[in-house]
């Protein structure tokens, strides 16, 4: 971590439509950031039980926590309807449950997700379709390269900069995209942003590398635990810490007031 700050509505790209990538994107949107969430890499195991929208949503089941600790050598297809390793009310963050509830409005609340398939399709996928993330999630967009781009200071901003002590402006990131079959029509070929968060994508599956300038580059590290709920909680703690730093706060945890 570093001491760099970024005020809302700063632009953030979260790479990885994993369970923690979705939570990280949602957290940023709650704070008012301009967040985009992309699949990033073709890292997901085949899902014959799921429709196209859910193919690259949630765990990759390839070398991630769920592949190592939950599948344990089994095929995903045979485990799709088995109970998930988390209690239903702890499978998503309070922010995620709130986003789903707000989307449903006055409709009768759906049952909490019990199986791994329900968690992915009725939980995580539903979060990506909530008001805060709608139109910002591209699971089928892969990142092929990341480069840094110098920030162009507008003329009226130059005068302000002269009044301050010399402060170097860190470069933006430009991400090059490849749209796989099924990608949204509005997904661009490239995107420029001020901050990148990589969430749960194994390095061997990535077609991109971290640039030398990594002042606003963050990665969610996997938790060394065999407990699924603790793994998710640790990921949420990392998400809260990243955004607290970006906002220049010693502590900022949107999860804490809602935890039991």
Q: Is residue 226 part of a domain?
A: yes
Query: Range of 58's domain?
Result: 11-258
Q: Is residue 24 part of a domain?
A: yes
Q: Is residue 151 part of a domain?
A: yes
* CATH code at position 187: 3.50.50.60
Tens-digit pLDDT profile for residues 130-186? 999 999 999 999 999 999 999 887 766 555 555 555 567 889 999 999 998 766 667
Q: Is residue 3 part of a domain?
A: no
Q: Is residue 110 part of a domain?
A: yes
Q: Is residue 63 part of a domain?
A: yes
Q: Is residue 66 part of a domain?
A: yes
Query: What string of H, E and C letters represents the secondary structure of the chain?
Result: CCCCCCCCCCEEEEECCCHHHHHHHHHHHHCCCEEEEEEECCCCCCCCCCCHHHCCCCCCCCCCHHHHHHHCCCCHHHHCCCECCCCHHHCCCHHHHHHHHHHHCCCCCCCCCCEHHHHHHHHHHHHHCCCCCCCCEEEEEEEEEEEEECCCCCHHHHHHHHHCCCCCCCCEEEEEEEECCCCCCCCCCEEEECEEEEECCCHHHCCCCCCCCCCCEEEECCCCCCCHHHHHHHHHHHHHHHHHHHCCCCCCCCCHHHCC
Q: Is residue 121 part of a domain?
A: yes
Q: How confident is the model at residue 258 (pLDDT cuts 50, 70, 90)?
A: very low
202 pLDDT more than 70: yes
How many structural domains comprise the chain? 1
């Amino acid at each position: 971590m570093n001491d760099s700050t970024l005020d809302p509505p700063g632009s953030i790209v979260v790479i990885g439509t994993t369970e923690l990538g979705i939570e990280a994107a949602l957290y940023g949107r709650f704070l008012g950031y301009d967040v985009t969430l992309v699949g990033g890499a073709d890292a997901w195991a085949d899902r014959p039980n799921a429709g196209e929208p859910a193919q690259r949503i949630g765990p990759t089941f390839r070398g991630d926590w769920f592949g190592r600790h939950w599948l344990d050598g089994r095929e995903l297809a045979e485990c799709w309807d088995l109970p998930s390793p988390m209690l239903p009310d702890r499978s998503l963050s309070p922010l995620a449950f709130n986003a789903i509830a707000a989307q449903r409005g006055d409709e009768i609340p759906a049952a909490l997700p019990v199986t791994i398939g329900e968690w992915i399709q009725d939980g995580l996928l539903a979060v990506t379709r909530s008001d805060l993330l709608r139109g910002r999630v591209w699971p089928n967009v892969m990142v092929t390269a990341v480069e840094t781009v110098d920030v162009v200071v507008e003329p009226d901003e130059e005068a302000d900069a002269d009044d301050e002590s010399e402060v170097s402006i860190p470069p933006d990131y430009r991400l090059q995209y490849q749209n796989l079959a099924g990608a949204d029509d509005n997904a661009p070929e490239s995107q420029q942003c001020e901050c990148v968060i990589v969430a749960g994508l194994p390095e061997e599956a990535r077609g991109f590398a971290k640039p030398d300038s990594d002042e606003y580059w963050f990665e969610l590290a996997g938790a060394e635990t065999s407990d699924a709920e603790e793994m998710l909680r640790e990921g949420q703690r990392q998400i809260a810490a990243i955004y607290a730093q970006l906002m220049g706060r010693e502590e900022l945890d949107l999860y804490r007031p809602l935890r039991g």
